[in-house]
Amino acid sequence: MRFDLRYLRPIGLGALACIAVAGCDTFDQKKKEVIDPNVFPTDYKSKIAVFMKTYLTDRTSYLGAAISSPVLKAFGADNRYVVCVRLVSGSQAGEKIAVFFGGQLNQLVEASPGSCAGAQYEPFRELEQVR
């Protein structure tokens, strides 16, 4: 029996088409993971403390630092869990806002006037322990 080469090209193209279709089907089956942006940030104190270790260049800012509990607030056009941090000494003294997305620390920004009004602060001992 003799093999006819003129059938090789259509068979090869058909095989490639089957592989491509199978690959597309695999991609469709994998659902994109949807992250809830407003997951409550667990262990928020240590996450902020570790980040602030790299952020704060003046270690005297650690003394007397205070932190609030996470609160769901309007941030930009959306709601996010935010935590107010107050630094009372050093060159970086002032209020900061830690913004969380999906339970993870997303950014730390200077608090605008009044954005931490009414925050219930407690000592931020975790920041002093990070030294």
Q: Report yes or no on 13 lying in a domain.
A: no
pLDDT at 55: 78
Question: pLDDT: is 4 or 113 the higher one?
Answer: 113
pLDDT band at 72 (very low <50, low <70, confident <90, very high): very high
Q: Report yes or no on 17 lying in a domain.
A: no
pLDDT in tens, 23-65: 554 555 556 788 888 999 999 999 999 998 887 777 777 888 9
At residue 6, the 3 state secondary structure works out as helix
Q: Report yes or no on 87 lying in a domain.
A: yes
Q: Report yes or no on 29 lying in a domain.
A: no
Mean pLDDT computed over every residue of the chain: 81
Six token digits for residue 57:
């260049």
**pTM attached to this predicted model:** 0.72
Q: Give the β-pairing of 66-67 and 94-101.
A: unpaired
Say yes or no to pLDDT of 10 above 70: no
Q: Report yes or no on 19 lying in a domain.
A: no
Cβ atoms within 10 Å of 82's Cβ, excluding its own: 23
pLDDT at 101: 95
Q: How many domains does the chain have?
A: 1
Structural domain that includes position 75 = 44-130
